[in-house]
Amino acid sequence: MNIAEQHLLKDNLLENIQITADTLGDGHLIEGDTLNVLSKIDDDVVNVGITSPPYNKQEKHKGWLVKNVVYDVYKDAMPEPDYQQNQVDVLNEIYRITAPGGSFFYNHKIRWEKGNMYHPMDWLRKTVWTVKQEIIWDRMIAGNIRGWRFWQVEERIYWLYKPIGDHLIGKELQSCDAKLTSIWRGVPENGRKNPHPAPFPLWLPARMIISILGTEAQGIVLDPYLGSGTTAVAAKLLGHKYIGIDRSEAYMEMTCDRLEKAQNEMPKIHEELALRDVQTTFKERKSKGKNVGKYRNTVDDKQTKLFER
Ligand SMILES: C[S@@+](CC[C@H](N)C(=O)[O-])C[C@H]1O[C@@H](n2cnc3c(N)ncnc32)[C@H](O)[C@@H]1O
């Protein structure tokens, strides 16, 4: 049986099905509208979710400074209040299907429309989630030639948390994950390798899954706007189950194809895992008289260079 036969479901055939952890098998890919499909999933099923929703970029208004993102079956242009309300509804449904203690990573960006700034926190505070952290994704992209603002080279990732009882803080991260810091530097996926207009690079969902679930016990990973399937590929390669939703048949086919050949993407997972290697322990550094003080990120980044001059 191929991946599509094993995992692909259509929203309109789900009428009388409730998706539960027991019926999930290795995972489900569901072609349909996110909000509608989420309503068919049982409470408390998911351990970690990751997504980049459509950003409501009103592409028809964009000028020549910004490359348009054009989706297969979806026009990314809703009235802004409707868009924000839809995101609140989607995020609250995701909260319902997430197990207490579970996390959701929401990738978005600050946008401007006719001079007004829209910040993701504008609607995140209207959801039931506890906002645990804002992570800056420095995409290390070249700026435009001109700009009305300083070139926006970053996106944001919101780590949302579903508390257990009233303990809002949750469990401590492992040091090997926490040391990756709240600024993640990494280029977006190469458009020549992935024809989807806005795919994640594989390291991004892999980093979130490893930090929350590790690779030992098997968890359930959700991406409610799956696109080309990057989150499902990362989940599979790290030994977890997945639930992926997208309304585009073409992107679902792309995902099935990637999942069939997932092993080819394993080197990228190894690169991400290797960032957690502990090269020298505290004891070894101390015995050699090396730095045992505060941790300093040793990534050779542009920013450090700027201030070294
Ligand atoms: C930013 S892309 C996600 C890309 C993905 N992270 C990847 O790695 O390829 C957003 C996706 O949301 C899908 N989409 C937009 N509105 C949707 C809706 N109402 N229901 C389901 N999918 C939707 C689009 O088809 C698109 O593939």
Nearest protein CA to atom 26 of ligand 1, as residue: 227
Model pLDDT for residues 214-247, shown as the tens digit of each residue: 988 899 999 999 999 999 999 999 999 999 999 9
Question: Ligand 1 centre from 234 Cα, in Å?
Answer: 17
What's the rounded mean pLDDT across residues 173-202? 94
**Is residue 244 in contact with ligand 1, taking CB distance under 6 Å?**
no
Question: Ligand 1 centre from 151 Cα, in Å?
Answer: 25
Q: Is the model more confident about 64 or about 85?
A: 85
* Structure confidence at residue 301 (pLDDT): 47
Atom of ligand 1 nearest to the CA of 54: 10
Residue from 83, 94, 108, 246 whose mutation best tests the ligand 1 pocket (most atoms within 8 A of CB): 246
**pTM listed for this prediction:** 0.91
* Structure confidence at residue 66 (pLDDT): 52
**Is residue 33 in contact with ligand 1, taking CB distance under 6 Å?**
yes
What's the rounded mean pLDDT across residues 23-42? 94
**Is residue 106 in contact with ligand 1, taking CB distance under 6 Å?**
no
CATH class of 3-308: alpha beta
Backbone angles phi, psi at 217, to 5 degrees: -75, 145
Asked whether the predicted pLDDT for residue 124 surpasses 70, the reply is: yes
Band of residue 303 on the pLDDT scale cut at 50, 70, 90: very low
Average of per-residue pLDDT values in the chain: 89
Q: Is the model more confident about 274 or about 308?
A: 274
* Structure confidence at residue 68 (pLDDT): 63
Band of residue 3 on the pLDDT scale cut at 50, 70, 90: confident
Domain boundaries, the chain: 3-308
Sequence letter at residue 290: K
What's the rounded mean pLDDT across residues 52-72? 71
d(CA 48, CA 238): 13
Among residues of the chain, what percentage have pLDDT more than 90?
69
d(CA 160, CA 182): 14
- Written as six digits, the tokens of 83 are 């868009």
Report yes or no: 242 and 235 within 8 Å, Cβ to Cβ.
yes
Question: Ligand 1 centre from 286 Cα, in Å?
Answer: 49
Band of residue 93 on the pLDDT scale cut at 50, 70, 90: very high
What's the rounded mean pLDDT across residues 34-53? 97
**Is residue 201 in contact with ligand 1, taking CB distance under 6 Å?**
no
Nearest protein CA to atom 12 of ligand 1, as residue: 225
**Is residue 205 in contact with ligand 1, taking CB distance under 6 Å?**
no
Instruction: List CB contacts of 225: < 8 A, sequence separation 6 or more.
Output: 34, 51, 52, 53, 54, 245, 246
Nearest protein CA to atom 7 of ligand 1, as residue: 199
Residue from 10, 139, 247 whose mutation best tests the ligand 1 pocket (most atoms within 8 A of CB): 247
**Is residue 246 in contact with ligand 1, taking CB distance under 6 Å?**
yes
Asked whether the predicted pLDDT for residue 207 surpasses 70, the reply is: yes
What's the rounded mean pLDDT across residues 145-169? 94
